[in-house]
Amino acid sequence: MEEPQRGTEEGGESACSLHRVCPECGRLSDTAPPPAVCERCGTPLGSLGQD
């Protein structure tokens, strides 16, 4: 396995988006702030739905 070169960035979302992820189904909300319930499964997001 080849090591990444120093100074190169790896892709991916930052951890600051975690509050937008539904803990039940994993859907990432595309609205800001996230809704009070998950738009896919209806799970209440509680404090996760607030910025």
Q: What pLDDT is attached to residue 42? A: 95
- Residue type for position 7: G
Alpha-carbon distances of 41 from 24, 30, 31, 48, 51, rounded to whole Å = 8, 15, 16, 15, 21
Cβ partners under 8 Å of residue 10, min gap 6: 4
3-state secondary structure 5-34: CCCCCCCCCCHHHHHHECCCCCCECCCCCC
Q: What pLDDT is attached to residue 44? A: 92
Could you read off the pLDDT of 1-51 as tens digits, one per residue? Answer: 676 666 666 777 667 888 888 999 999 998 888 889 999 999 998 764 444
pTM above 0.75, yes or no: no
Q: What pLDDT is attached to residue 8? A: 65
- Element (H or E) spanning 4, and its range? none
